[in-house]
Amino acid sequence: MRLTRLVGSTTAVIAVVLLTACGPGENGEESGSIPPGVRDAVLSSADPSEPLFREEYYRRLNEIMVECMGAAGFEYVPYTPPRPSLRPFDLSEEDFRRMYGFGMSTLIDRPPPEEPEDPNRAIVEQLDEAARDAYAEADIQCRLRVFDELGPSPDPGGQVVPAYYSELESQAIELMRADPRVEQARAEARACMAGRGYGQFDGDEIVGYFADLAAPFAQAFHAQRAALEAQGRDVTGLRVEDVLSPDQMSELREIQQAEIAAAVAQWECNKDYVELQHRLIDEYLEQLVRQES
């Protein structure tokens, strides 16, 4: 089994971000059993990263949401979000780091990618306050049904997750943290970082360090960009070298090179550690689900 989770970074202990709600059972009553759909998804050998798996998941999700929201008196437009990636670069994390580091100082002049908008947002915006509250409650309950029937989403992020599953995830994470293999891998990762000259940083401190270094240059760029736009200038494609001084650019280039080197080191030193965390969480979660089933 390979579940998809939201991971803070390659150095941080895995942080699973979930929206919790009531457990299985009608009217939010707790049940001691795992729904068959969840059990089958957790114990399945299918790879959620496979495009056909994801396509089928969202096909079934949309069927459930259309029927469920319709029963609650609301329209629901089928929607499949874009596949998570390092858009607009379409790179693996390793390749992204080798080209852009953490993206702090290297992507100052790159606008955030435009995401296609969920058409259901337009439906919500047309509702009055009371109807929006009712829609939100119906949406939560329908997404809980989606989870119970289909199991975890193939994409990371804010899926509505029942309390019973959130508790299982928390137990699996605690078991992972207590596993001696994790502490050993963490020690090896820290030693590797220290050996490359980054021993003063713990976890994601190194990302914040380069974010702080990049901040003055980002502020200067965006201030200049806003000023030019206010003058009626076309700022499409404006780059940092178009507005920053040669001295600023020289300093920024040094920071960019240092950031890329640090990001590559972090990736190379921590990838085995992170992969181990993922694998152990999956293994412990399987064990817990089998015990509950």
List pLDDT tens digits, range 227-245. 999 999 999 999 999 999 9
Domain that holds residue 269: 1-48+82-115+152-293
Residue with token string 């976890």: 203
The highest-confidence range among 29-33, 79-83, 95-99, by mean pLDDT, is 95-99
Question: Given pLDDT bands bounded at 50, 70 and 90, which one contains residue 79?
Answer: very high
List pLDDT tens digits, range 147-173. 999 999 998 777 899 999 999 999 999
Predicted local confidence at residue 233, as pLDDT: 94
pLDDT of 19 strictly over 70 = no
**For residues 291 and 33, is the Cβ–Cβ distance under 8 A?**
no
Please compute the mean of the pLDDT values over residues 248-276 and round it to a whole number. Answer: 97
Domain membership flag for residue 70: no
Chain-wide mean pLDDT for the chain?
88
Domain membership flag for residue 262: yes
Give the chain's domain count.
Answer: 1
Domain membership flag for residue 62: no
Domain membership flag for residue 61: no
Domain membership flag for residue 179: yes
**For residues 216 and 22, is the Cβ–Cβ distance under 8 A?**
no
Predicted local confidence at residue 155, as pLDDT: 87
Domain membership flag for residue 200: yes
Provide the whole-model pTM.
0.78
Q: What percentage of residues in the chain have a pLDDT greater than 90?
A: 75
Domain membership flag for residue 229: yes
Q: What percentage of residues in the chain have a pLDDT greater than 70?
A: 88
Domain membership flag for residue 138: no
List pLDDT tens digits, range 176-221. 999 999 999 999 999 999 999 999 998 889 999 999 999 999 999 9
Concatenated DSSP letters for the chain?
A: ---------SSSPP----EEE--SSGGG---SS--HHHHHHHH----TTSHHHHHHHHHHHHHHHHHHHHHTT-------PPPPSSTTS---HHHHHHHHTTSSSSSTTSPPPPPPPPTHHHHHHTS-HHHHHHHHHHHHHHHHHHHHHH-S-SS-S--EEEHHHHHHHHHHHHHHHH-HHHHHHHHHHHHHHHHTT-TT--TTHHHHHHHHHHHHHHHHHHHHHHHHHHTT---TT--HHHHS-HHHHHHHHHHHHHHHHHHHHHHHHHHHHHHHHHHHHHHHHHHHHHHH-
